[in-house]
Amino acid sequence: MANIENQKFIALDISGKNYLSWVLYVKPYLSAKKLRHTIDEDNTASNEERATALIFLRYHIDDDLKYEYLTVKNPLELWQNLNDGFEHLKTVVLPKALND
């Protein structure tokens, strides 16, 4: 079985055009690494788990987004900020994809 760490996927684009596919990759990846709870409300993640999830999320977003959210120290807060910025794209992209 291929090492999951070696799997490549595209970072979240600053335009958000790949937000839906990015989310659909990130959630299962965090679940596989037993870190999914770090982006859930009222989680009890350890400092190490939060740091690992934050590093992963930052590594997989556009460089300009990294700078924009440089001071965010919690993966849940970063996840929510990205969601707030790009969630509206789901309502645009998903219906179009379903009709194609």
Q: What is the pLDDT at residue 8?
A: 65
Mean of per-residue pLDDT scores for the chain: 86
Q: Rounded to two decimals, what is the model's pTM?
A: 0.81
pLDDT of residue 57: 96
Taking 70 as the pLDDT cut, the residues of the chain under it are: 1-8, 90-100
At 10, is the secondary structure helix, strand, or coil?
coil
pLDDT score recorded for residue 2 = 47
> What residues contact residue 54 under an 8 Å CB cut-off, 6+ apart?
38, 72, 73, 74, 75, 78
